[in-house]
Structure 1
């Protein structure tokens, strides 16, 4: 079994100065847990600071990446830039990117391909809104989104299931809700990647905290969490990390 991945998504938070303070506090207090990998998904301006100050063994990555190699794409960041900064991962297709910037499944797949081409592991996000959940269409919706977002993408990938209605709302899908979708995702991954699917980590994201992470990640098809708000304070991070012992 692959290591459980605790991926911390800072979103648009923390200046480089704040990132340094966070990393230094983590370095002082962090104790690795066997079988658990910690990784910080930070704004691009924070990556060099994290590279210099994170504890050994803690990875980091970007929150988005361009679907293009390089060129006249003002404001975008290439996969080669992230890799050169020391990143291991990059988040693609987060619901906020899909909702606020109109990203399509095809664009998400193109970004994931760029990441893999440059030696990064894409964390591909999928998940339904409340209207879809209430209609009982959450499984087919998510699997369709997954298929489009993984088109042409290799097996060196992480999938994060994030029910949009549970992100930053305080509402959390139950552990059984997370497992229902994670099991369906796992089955789809097996059809696409065969035996390699066993090594692909499926994360749950949406109001994950120290007091619920163990139950969620204890499910057979959930291999970690993509954490938003609770990633911003080191004591919460340590609490989640320790809860996975």
Structure 2
């Protein structure tokens, strides 16, 4: 399973930074405005300069909405090495960004691995979330995608060497570490009750080769909440960033926000 994006835009002005309790330096852009603050959580090996993050920031600014985008450690302009990171590290980064940089209710938009991070955030800070939009959400992919897809030789290599190299449809080959797999097991969200007591819109392209429609349906069936909907977009791929898809994301944010 792959859960990342490579849709880059022109770089923004120099980012601000914050230092987490773990000593990691996170780059971010915070746009002031009316709440709830919209928080964008990017995908694996993506960064805050991706098409969706930059587009939504400009859209939010134009409507006077507060907006936060940031790079997890080992991503983009933040400190750290990607191959040394794991889901739990990026969850800590998300908590640091949200707790230190925002106040009050949030609208969380999570793309791919960022969808998993959005669900972890909802579990950790349930009182802060006013609405959620996920785009090709990839919960539990380290277990259900990577580990489940490894053959006996790859599992043996991971145990012996601590890492396995896998090809990517979107960029150069990347490394899956034993720590990534083991840490992922400590942050699974589809094995225990997952209550989302706020409006949620799951967006999924039918031509996505990284995250399947079956994954989206599984998430919809597993989670509970008063207002959850899954929107399938025919022929949309994992990037979900053409003009039509960006408008769908905007509409979903408006929908869960409840005001224009």
Q: Comparing both structures, which one devotes a greater share of its residues to helix?
A: 1
TM-score range, shorter chain: 0.3 to 0.5
In the superposition, the TM-score normalised over structure 2's length comes to 0.35
Q: Comparing both structures, which one devotes a greater share of its residues to strand?
A: 2
